[in-house]
Amino acid sequence: MPLQLYNTMGRKTEEFRPITPGKVSFYGCGPTVYNYAHIGNLRAYVFQDTLARTLRFLGYKVTHVMNITDVGHLTGDADEGEDKMVKSAAERGKSVLEIADFYTKAFFNDTDRLNIRRPDIICRATEHIDDMINLIKRIEANGHTYTAGGNLYYDVTSYPDYGKLAGLNLSDLKAGARIDVDENKRNPFDFVLWFTKSKFENQALTWDSPWGRGYPGWHIECSAMSMKYLGEHFDIHTGGIDHITIHHTNEIAQSEGATGKKWVNYWLHNEFLVLNKEKMSKSSGDFLTLQKLIDQGYGSGDYRFFLLGGHYRSQLAFSWQSMDSAKNALKNLIQRTSRLLEAAGNVPSGNEDKAGSRDWGSASARMENFRTALEQDLNTPRALSELQAVIKEGLNGAILPADAVKAVAAMDGVLGLRLLEKAAEKGGDSGGSSGSATLSVEERQRIEDLISKRAAAKKEKNWAEADKIRDMLAGEGIILEDGASGTIWKHIPKNGV
């Protein structure tokens, strides 16, 4: 079966046909490096990674490009609010470049821990200002721009297909119009290509341009950098679903406005990770990072396993209970893989195998199911079941253990759980930095409930009650730490682990 992907452009599942047979050009929107990535953002990057790994497994040569946004992204995606980088630098008493460097390193530290392969090309916005200026010149030459209040704007009425990705036309968009504060705009959906003095006199980084000294709007970087590295027409573009209505819609208007032809063939968007029924977001101030999960006793692999257990186009609700289930399931899988390795003797792992690169022997049917699951719009929950089944059958003799090990290696080349490595290393300890995982689900829930009760007491300024709860938990070895993004806890068992 050929690979089927759900294309947001057109809202239907389509057979994937690359522009150049055997090759895939793929651009994924990267992070804005003004803060740590939260675990919702990391879902977007595990999705990009799963897509790139799947394409390689299916035999394609993939060029995966990702940007790092270090200029131009305002707190509102439609040019409202403050510049995220400048705001973060001011709050932390650092320069914008220091902030960008720090959070770029933190981002790759997280993605490395999640076993997300680095994209082939990683490009920073501030290193591509000339490319953006050249692209804006082309957009301007084609009559899509106007100047107002010193800024250069994209005139969305000049591009008849505006809103196509979101399945909306300009009149639908107008009906649901956002309130926009920028009086320079002729139309609320117009957006900035180049800012000059009219906004943010204190902008840290500015460049000379035909429109005056200033800095680029957020959307232009993705158009300019993707085309620089992948050409004017490429295969796949990804991002979270929040990017559909503004960021990607504007990217298309820019790119196609400059070239006059189709830009991207397949648009793939991941759904949100939600916490308490709300999208996790950096601006809410209440977000979880990978480090916080690790501090709570989980391994980064547990989080990857949890994510793969949901389809990328379904909302996924985060809870500590589901992290516990993921942790236990992965631990179990590693232990069983370890037993499988023993049963198989010394088998060359064959990791990185392509689906069609060898005869899978007695594991052929499972490998075929695994491949089909991925070909059906990256059905990772079903792919995981096939992995579990091949291990089970390798242990009960339905599949030769040596064949099962080879299949596990190939499957894990896509899923990225580092199963064989961990099985050989530890025989099943998926790790984590505190002792909290030794607590039962019920105990953990009780602690979470007490923390919520304490937060409510603090809100009511009932400090005595709040302190009582903290001290009581401390007596049980549960240490609370209050931070800007809420309270986290650590379990320091009495034996001092």
Return the DSSP state at 68. Answer: E
> Judged by CB under 6 A, does residue 51 bind ligand AMP?
no
Q: Report how far residue 132's alpha carbon sits from residue 5's, in angstroms, rounded to the nearest whole number.
A: 30
Tell me if residue 67 falls in helix, strand or coil.
strand
| Residue 44 contacts which entry, Zn ion, ligand AMP, none (Cβ below 5-8 A, type-dependent) | ligand AMP
Q: Least distance to ligand AMP from the beta carbon of 281, Å?
A: 6
Q: Least distance to ligand AMP from the beta carbon of 318, Å?
A: 9
- Would you say 29 or 136 has its CB closer to Zn ion? 29
| Residue 32 contacts which entry, Zn ion, ligand AMP, none (Cβ below 5-8 A, type-dependent) | ligand AMP
> Judged by CB under 6 A, does residue 32 bind ligand AMP?
yes
User: Residue 82: which of 190, 176, 208, 218 has the closest Cα?
Assistant: 218
Phi, psi of 61 (to 5 degrees): -90, 120
User: Residue 295: which of 433, 430, 431, 492 has the closest Cα?
Assistant: 433
Q: Report how far residue 150's alpha carbon sits from residue 198's, in angstroms, rounded to the nearest whole number.
A: 6
Q: Which residue has the tokens 């400090």?
A: 463
Q: Least distance to Zn ion from the beta carbon of 247, Å?
A: 5
Q: Least distance to ligand AMP from the beta carbon of 124, Å?
A: 14
| Residue 416 contacts which entry, ligand AMP, Zn ion, none (Cβ below 5-8 A, type-dependent) | none
Stretch that binds ligand AMP, among 38-46, 96-104, 334-342, 488-496 (CB under 6 A): 38-46
Using Cβ positions, the residue closest to ligand AMP within the complex turns out to be 240
- Would you say 255 or 337 has its CB closer to Zn ion? 255
> Judged by CB under 6 A, does residue 313 bind ligand AMP?
no
Phi, psi of 152 (to 5 degrees): -100, 125
- Would you say 29 or 58 has its CB closer to Zn ion? 29
Q: Which residue has the tokens 């080879």?
A: 406
Residue 420 CA to its chain's centroid (Å): 25
Burial class (CB within 10 angstroms; exposed 0-12, middle 13-18, buried 19+) of 458: middle
Residue 363: CB partners within 8 Å, gap ≥ 6? 390, 394, 399, 400, 403, 404, 406, 407
> Judged by CB under 6 A, does residue 279 bind ligand AMP?
yes
Residue 405: CB partners within 8 Å, gap ≥ 6? 340, 341, 344, 347, 349, 394, 420
- Would you say 70 or 140 has its CB closer to ligand AMP? 70
Tell me if residue 234 falls in helix, strand or coil.
strand
Selected from 7, 41, 196, 289, the binder of ligand AMP by CB under 6 A is 41
Q: Least distance to ligand AMP from the beta carbon of 32, Å?
A: 4
> Judged by CB under 6 A, does residue 418 bind ligand AMP?
no
> Judged by CB under 6 A, does residue 310 bind ligand AMP?
no
Stretch that binds ligand AMP, among 129-137, 155-163, 267-275, 339-347 (CB under 6 A): 267-275
Stretch that binds ligand AMP, among 36-44, 132-140, 182-190, 412-420 (CB under 6 A): 36-44
* Amino acid, res. 122: I
- Would you say 27 or 195 has its CB closer to Zn ion? 27
Range 216-225 burial, b when 16+ CB lie within 10 A, else e: bbbbbbbbbb
Selected from 272, 303, 370, 489, the binder of ligand AMP by CB under 6 A is 272
Antiparallel, parallel or unpaired: β 486-491 and 478-483: antiparallel
> Judged by CB under 6 A, does residue 29 bind ligand AMP?
yes
Q: Report how far residue 169's alpha carbon sits from residue 229's, in angstroms, rounded to the nearest whole number.
A: 30
- Would you say 43 or 470 has its CB closer to ligand AMP? 43
Q: Least distance to ligand AMP from the beta carbon of 280, Å?
A: 4
Stretch that binds ligand AMP, among 37-45, 90-98, 198-206, 463-471 (CB under 6 A): 37-45
* Amino acid, res. 142: N
- Would you say 31 or 72 has its CB closer to ligand AMP? 31
> Judged by CB under 6 A, does residue 31 bind ligand AMP?
yes
Angle between the N-to-C axes of helices 401-415 and 320-344, in degrees from 0 to 180, rounded to the nearest 10: 140
Antiparallel, parallel or unpaired: β 264-270 and 273-275: unpaired
Residues 224-253 that bind ligand AMP (CB under 6 A): 239-240, 242-243
| Residue 222 contacts which entry, Zn ion, ligand AMP, none (Cβ below 5-8 A, type-dependent) | Zn ion
Residues that bind Zn ion (CB under 5 A): 29, 222
Q: Least distance to ligand AMP from the beta carbon of 205, Å?
A: 18
Antiparallel, parallel or unpaired: β 23-28 and 234-240: parallel
Distances (CA, A) of 55 to 60, 248, 355, 364: 6, 23, 10, 20
**Which residues here bind ligand AMP, judged by CB under 6 A?**
29, 31-32, 40-41, 43-44, 239-240, 242-243, 270, 272-273, 279-281
